[in-house]
Amino acid sequence: MTIETTNLCPANETATLPILVTGGGRRLGLALVNALLKEGQTVITTYRTHTAVIEDLKAQGVHCIQVDFNEADDVTRLTDEVLAEYQGGLRAVIHNASDWVSEEDGGDPMALMTRMWQVHVAAPYQINLALAPLLEKAESALGEATDIIHLTDYVAEKGSDKHIAYASSKAGLANLTLSFASKLAPKVKVNAIAPSLLMFHPGDNEEYRQKALNKSILSIEPGEQEGVAAVQYVLSSRYMTGRTLSLDGGRHLARRG
């Protein structure tokens, strides 16, 4: 299933001001990057693992920066590079990079907690603080607020007994939305998008797929374009900040019993 979308950045003059999309090498991040490219938007993206997709994005003019968000020094290198090369300002920062590990995967639980909070909370916190001046500079040029968007998760409000550290860190990211919205207003809008299921992995079996679909009352796999449409709405809105847009198919109303 696909959803037709209009421009993510409807004002033509915004195209020369870059948008940073973290984790743009796969799934929703890649869909966002491709949608922005289709509009002629200047795009910066990060990736953890080099693939043929990254080479294709580079060939299309995307500034691709390899970053391991589990390493604070890598995040510093990212912000230093963006600050040096894009002094004219940034239209938006979209925090899509994520790490999905459960307690059942084994290993040191405290190391897992540290890793989840580094990737989902500390790195976005560091990036927002460092790049806020570029977002504020772009606001002055455009005459309207620029954007930070945090991709959180449905489990941020519900918790998860199988992904405890992950869920807690996504809740931390959701809280950053509130704090940065207050800190950066009125020049920068800061909002969150909280998906549950958008798309399955190719290896997911039929039993798992049906179980996941049954968790929401709409019972569909909407696809990555649902996330693209949500980002489109947040970027185009002039009057929303400090809010979370939920993409969960009515999961909070799911039938029980």
Edge to edge, what strands does the sheet with 43-47 contain? 63-66, 43-47, 19-21, 92-95, 146-151, 188-195, 244-247
pLDDT tens per residue across span 85-131? 999 999 999 999 999 888 988 789 999 999 999 999 999 999 999 99
The three-state secondary structure class of 52 is: helix
- The percentage of residues in the chain with a pLDDT greater than 70, rounded to a whole number, is 88
Mean pLDDT of 228-240: 96
Domain annotation covers residue 105 = yes
In this predicted structure, what is the pLDDT of residue 211?
75
For residues 154 and 201, give the distance between their C-alpha atoms in angstroms, rounded to a whole number. 18
For residues 37 and 6, give the distance between their C-alpha atoms in angstroms, rounded to a whole number. 13
Q: Which residue has the higher pLDDT, 248 or 40?
A: 40
Mean pLDDT of 225-251: 93
Domain annotation covers residue 237 = yes
Domain annotation covers residue 256 = no
Domain annotation covers residue 92 = yes
Domain annotation covers residue 236 = yes
Domain annotation covers residue 2 = no
* Ramachandran quadrant class, 107 (left: phi over 0; alpha: psi -120 to 50; beta: rest): left
Q: How far is CA 104 from the centre of its chain?
A: 25
What is the DSSP pairing of strand 43-47 with strand 146-151?
A: unpaired
CATH number, position 139 = 3.40.50.720
Range of the domain at 34: 12-250
Domain annotation covers residue 19 = yes
Average per-residue pLDDT for the chain: 90
For residues 112 and 31, give the distance between their C-alpha atoms in angstroms, rounded to a whole number. 28
Domain annotation covers residue 244 = yes
In 3D space, the residue among 99, 92, 42, 36 whose CA is nearest the CA of residue 67 turns out to be 99
The three-state secondary structure class of 219 is: coil
Yes or no: say if 194 and 154 are a contact pair by the CB < 8 Å rule.
yes
Catalytic residues: 166
pLDDT at 84 over 90: yes
For residues 222 and 232, give the distance between their C-alpha atoms in angstroms, rounded to a whole number. 16
In this predicted structure, what is the pLDDT of residue 3?
39
- Say how many domains are in the chain: 1
Helix intervals (H) in the chain: 27-38, 52-59, 72-85, 109-117, 123-142, 155-158, 164-184, 206-213, 224-236
Helix-then-strand count for the chain, H and E: 9, 7
The three-state secondary structure class of 95 is: strand
